Structure 1
């Protein structure tokens, strides 16, 4: 997560990370203290500052595991039972990683039994804490109060796209201010419409507005510039609707983009020449390591496909895709569909595709079918993170109908991406538009930390069978 994203988190979200860091470190120190009193395992006394460092390392590893399994996703929609399952798996993975780090500690590290006790205490502490955060709406702390300037078609995107409570965890919507020139149709329907008689700055101060979002349909000679300036110098944040949607949803509203916004906006082009130079070396190295780890899985997959469809059935699927700068390349995948899946021509994949084989359903669910693409990464056709490459016949059609669609080819395609985390399989033009919104967000904010976040979150998708 980038620094700007962290700054934009609500106080409740930031507090969750900090409080659980203290909880996990406390669980580790509690296990050590219990052992001193009850001598559960033989131990040697260590200085308190050394134990504190061990506790922090333990807590950070557990939190990294929480991040990988989506427990710090602010829009995670899970029942308490689902949270307990994720917490249990996260603590188990964290325990495994900490035991791997143990030999690198001086004096042989901490006894495995103590780490197990610390993990049990961490699980109990976290379950209790998460239970009460669900009960008291912990994430609702210190929400920004937002007033939208406009109640027409542009403003209605906020109402439609962020209509649920889970979409408004960082802010509360005060209302939509009706402006001259707002469209009468497709405007605000269910939200609070405000007819303002007095000055905007007076209204904003009286109602303790924290942020004003400019979303009027007609801006020319219509925006109250002097009023917005007065609000700004009094500490009220003034935000353009494109930036507001980008910040709150992690996507760029393609249908609202205008050229000057792109020109003056930060991002969209990497100025980090070292990153660009080392990009292939990094991706190829990780791909080789991934191949060494997963070759047994690929071998088993090959055998299962042969056993299911006969030893003459092809294992791999080769398909032309569009890559960096619109250059075509062949992608390598385990075949998850019938051999005659495209006898009627090219079709987009869908979530419950009836062309999928028995083995294909399983390997697609856990993304095993994507593993041969490590060869594409080593060749330099793809990276680990980036927009998913599409087929040329679909690209040519989508470029004509969706604005800015060709911009997704300004970076290398990837095995996984921001759109794959945020949006399911799509087989329609509307789905392609939604995925493009996330792809453009990734291109705009592309960084090592965002790539790392996407890779960590992909672990959640693989472990819970949420392949997209």
Structure 2
């Protein structure tokens, strides 16, 4: 039976001790993968020296040369980079071992093929079967050692969870009678996954007094933020009857902002409609995925952002100098900086070339409009071709923004939008962008109503994020710039 903690006890990886545990396991996994790559490379190198090269030169087994340690380290670093790119060092305390092996095998297949084409294919062999021998030793060796290390480490983590050395504070949120119906499933999931049930939150507007499945009532959904912070909550389990599904959108928006792992116990309609999958412990459970892209897409998108923004800043330096001289012709600073809301609602300073007079907002926040008298002559040209946005490549380089993503807004306007359209908070899942689907399909907004309409395109983008769609947005943006459709 899952243990029930007293209110106020720190239980989850958000606490310092378990965060350090996660860091230690990450280091151990990195060392294990480094060792696996070194072992696989050693088998590959030995086969080269004992079989491939003697067959070529007609000699006995050749001596190993000074390149062996260099090649081994390079191979290991490439393997670690591949593992990091696809996210195999994330969430190490919560991984399914079977899922881990599947993803590892897929990554290894791509890695070995790429390694073969880059480093092995140019080897001279007397018989092409030698290539198969090289692949067997390298790919097979890397697979066996990596899987063995990861299964062993995963097994050790599962043992620690079963012994209650690792646990994750969990809130149950929902309607009392439905939670009681799901009690056996809730406790089975909690015991198997290391969750410690801290209490339950009622979705009723009025505060109840009775405990539920032996858990203390902590309050209503209005008090979630308080209890998540007080108890260091890591997971939440939602149990809402079908007639209360209208509450789900707002509830999920609130929980997403807290960075929690979210599970939902579905009703009969959800099961019949095929929306439910079995979790790794055999409990019918639906996990809400907060990230719109998987790890390798998200990491590769960030790598592309870094490479392209660095190249743009370097190549566009002459243009920046020319624009700076032109902007300096009017009174005021060359660069315009303003606080905007980024990923997870974090405030950052967006950078642009100044296109308005220095005291453009002396009377308070004001959106630009067609034929806006505050826009300078050179500013009008910069806006038309969106040259004023180019300094934001620096925002991309430092990690505040991405090349493609929802346009960031000021808190003054964001609060008005959220009040009227709470789903707007979904855009905080991702980094804001220099350009966006909303910008290319709708354009600039001169009122909160127009901001909300443009937001619909950005939400559609977030739900369909991919390399393909990013490329599409960039192509549309280039066409918009060339036609001078900026404002």
Q: With structure 1 as the length reference, what TM-score do the two structures score?
A: 0.42
Which of the two has higher C-alpha Rg?
2
Q: With structure 2 as the length reference, what TM-score do the two structures score?
A: 0.40
